[in-house]
Amino acid sequence: MELDPTVRKELIRQISGTIKPSLRIRSRMKVTAWEATVNLSYLMKRLLDITISTAAIIALSPLFLLTALAIRIEDPGPVFYTQIRVGQNGRHFRFYKFRSMIMSADKIKAQLAAQNESRAGVIFKMKNDPRITRTGRIIRKFSIDELPQLINVLNGDMSLVGPRPPLPSEVSEYTLEQRKRLHVIPGITCLWQVSGRSDIPFTDQVRLDLEYIKSAGLLNDIRLLLKTIPAVLTGRGAY
């Protein structure tokens, strides 16, 4: 995760300023040390992602199988639902979920646009969405539908912790401030996910995501992962 050469050069320029040439070496060393710290932090986060996601996939494989069977029995069709989502720095990637809606859900969405309960717009939320199957309501309540994203984590498209990855159509409506969410790798869980999930208005989701980005760190990620467990078990704000 090396700094862009232009950014690195600008950092050196700012730190160096008009100081004496004899001190410029120290300035360059500071930038190098800072860059090494960032790289180490990224490496530690990546190791945590790989370790936990691999262990979780193995441990939860029976649940994966039972969920897949329930989906196929109730509404025959693909077990997984895939979408194109926007990741770090605007890069698109294929996003995986267990299918929780009927097969024609995307076509019906346009007909439900007027019933969008997201006051700030941008995202679509509806508590009693008629497209959700009975199995879908259960797996959504306990976030089981999100488990296939562990594959996205292994692929490096996502992290365990980070802002949720948006749809390209949502990003097209973002303000410059909201686009700051794309500065980091998106995650399965985040600050607003453990604070009320879909009950959190979009503007507050953005605020909490930016708050996370400013204070991101390995210990903070571990704390959020631990908070995710009770949030999932209670099912508050999941729909």
CB 147 within 8 A of CB 64: yes
| pLDDT value of residue 20 | 58
Residue matched to tokens 């008009």: 18
Gap between the Cα atoms of 104 and 160, Å rounded: 30
CA-to-CA distance for 212 and 224, rounded, in angstroms? 10
Instruction: Report percent pLDDT > 90 for the chain.
Output: 56
Domain ranges of the chain: 41-234
Q: State the chain's mean pLDDT as an integer.
A: 85
Q: What is the pLDDT of residues 86-135, one digit of tens each?
A: 999 999 999 999 999 998 887 887 778 767 766 666 777 777 888 999 99
- Counting beta carbons within 10 angstroms of the beta carbon of residue 195, is it exposed (0 to 12), middle (13 to 18) or buried (19 or more)? middle
**What does the block give as tokens for 46?**
């990546």
Whether the pLDDT of residue 17 is over 60: the answer is no
HSE-CB for 52 with a 13 A CA cutoff:
19
Per residue in 20-55, pLDDT tens?
A: 565 667 767 776 776 776 677 888 999 999 999 999
pLDDT in tens, 186-195: 999 998 888 8
The 10s digit of each residue's pLDDT in 147-198 is 999 999 999 999 999 999 999 999 999 999 999 999 999 999 998 888 877 7
Strands 159-161 and 187-189, bridge-based pairing: parallel
User: What pLDDT score was predicted for residue 1?
Assistant: 47
49, exposed or middle or buried, with CB in 10 Å at 0-12, 13-18, 19+? buried
